[in-house]
Structure 1
């Protein structure tokens, strides 16, 4: 809880973090028909549901732009700000880019929660942006029944060094740069008030080094693992690229306590919707519990990279497109 007030922010929201995303299949139905911009300078748009939009300025520079915000995933206001900022910045890193400027996006129930707590949220966001050498240049706020915070972020990338979700090729390793499990741990935190420092540490960690390492290793395809879970984001990448993925479930890393939280039933509705969406394209010989962990709705997760990233575990490999987009063994 926020130390100075005793207020638990998660109790003022119907859900938390990226688990509040509109379900992937429903979202795709909503935006269908909005894709297909004819501009040759729009390098990445809505077509494949990538992490950010990318527009080429010249042969050496493209602009990466994104926005991300959500309801509290933890009770502490400062940590909420840090997590939301790291999550928003991650979309730029997932494209291989470097964030340069951000603006805050705020919804706050000003008649319910002290504005001093909002100040702590913004301070957390500013501290993480400073770690990323990203300028925070203001923002926009509204009076809202639920607290919400995030950022719109602009970055830059070389057009020839983009990481995108439609560029996976068969016969390559798949790396994951952060462990899974923040979804079930956050759900336990919201339900019980228990705190999990390992989950906070993971969520506030920037994906900057992972992105740089992926680009240096000549990777071309990547995405970050957030609200649609590893299976959901991997499926989007395999579908966009026309290849399949074979995942070794035993190689996937998890945060301490994640399996206990799953065993005790702290699975979000978003996680179950993720698995339901992917299941028709999935071949699996592991348990339902294992699949739920792989579909766990993450907040500020790591990068899923097609290629080897030094220091990151390899959790599978790509293959020519088969009957299933994803196989889990």
Structure 2
């Protein structure tokens, strides 16, 4: 009997918890925020590096508006097909987070070809194809390298209405905050990596497209949103509040969690990425109203999480509001 391959054991971390910490990332790319000089400025860059938004947006000389992003990571689950689905949904989410629709994607694959069978890599790619097909997005080719750790994701190009973009710098006081997926993916994935226990509720959340939530946000007239991934809810909320020049007031009791998330936290399944998120966000947040454990859950590094929308969406939980800028960009109550 062949023992199943546990893909998560071939990577030092998993999913978006492997992101470079936000403080280090800001320092690294800060000098690039102004962009390079462009010889022929026929295409207008509408969204670039300035506020650390989810994707780049450019308007071409013929009036089309393109949304461009790339996202990839190490295995977050052991099942190769599910990992492909999760990675694809996560990459597509950056386009949805801008209010766009994905048009075409290409694969990005790193594979330890002398260590792991290539038929597992084929399953990863098949998972990515299944999700892009669900999204109505072409998947055509890509690039692969021989890599000591398995990595997979997509580079995606989408389209958007330039007058109906969702940006992380467009938040205004007096607007409610809506979260479209529950938190807890990070602690459940950390438990999965450590024990092999499978959490179908986490897989279902990670493979669910943010398409319908994005369309609902655009239809509701929202102008500000971001997706909640590796920097956790606290980190992404802090970036949104800073970019918009407001304070975000978060109602901790209103934040939804996946079944088993609190138990995973209680049992110590907290990733290093989550702890780094909290270390980075804490100086910009008033966390005096919540316990240390609750703060860790709010900073939990999500993979393919939901959208955080400045606006109220039908049937989705409101978890706070934006108010005029105060002492802290984020206040948790």
TM-score under structure 1 length normalisation: 0.98
What's the CA shift string for 1:126-159, capped at 9, x where partnerless?
A: 0000000000010000000000000000000010
Match of 2:24 in 1: 26
1:275-307 CA deviation, whole Å, 9 max, x = no partner?
A: 110111111211011110000000000000000
The residue aligned with 1:299 is: 303
**Residue in structure 1 matching 2:317, options 299, 309, 313:** 313
Provide the rounded CA distance (Å) in 2 between the counterparts of 1:215 and 1:310. 12
2:110 maps to which residue? 107
Matches within 5 A, 1:157-172: 157-172=160-175
Q: 1:283 aligns with which of 270, 281, 286?
A: 286
Aligned to 1:70: 73
Matches within 5 A, 1:19-168: 19-37=17-35, 41-57=44-60, 61-168=64-171
Kindly tell me: are residues 10 and 230 of structure 1, through their superposed partners in 2, closer, same or farther at Cα, counting changes over 3 Å? same
Secondary structure at the aligned position of 2:143 is classed as strand
User: How many residues are paired up?
Assistant: 327
Q: CA deviation at 1:322?
A: 0.2
Deviation of 1:63 (Å) = 0.3
Cα deviations by residue, 1:247-279 (Å, 9 ceiling, x for unpaired): 100000000000000000000010010011011
Task: Name the SS for the 1:33 alignment partner.
Answer: helix
Q: Which residue of 2 aligns with 1:11?
A: 9
Unaligned stretches of 5+ in structure 2? none
After TM superposition, the structure 1 stretch with the greater mean CA deviation from structure 2, 302-311 or 35-44, is 35-44
- TM norm structure 2: 0.96
Structure 1, unpaired ranges of 5+: none
Deviation at 1:35, TM superposition (A): 1.1
CA distance in 2, matches of 1:190, 1:227: 17
User: 1:79-125 CA distances to partner (integer Å, 9 max, x unpaired)?
Assistant: 00000000000000000000000000000000000000000000000
Instruction: Measure, in 1, the Cα distance between the counterparts of 2:54 and 2:2.
Output: 36
Deviation at 1:5, TM superposition (A): 5.8
Provide closer, same or farther for how the CA distance between residues 117 and 4 of structure 1 changes in structure 2, counting only shifts above 3 A: farther
Q: Of residues 237, 242, 247 in structure 1, which corresponds to 2:240?
A: 237
Instruction: Give 1:59 deviation, angstroms.
Output: 7.9
Structure 2: distance between partners of 1:55 and 1:4: 50
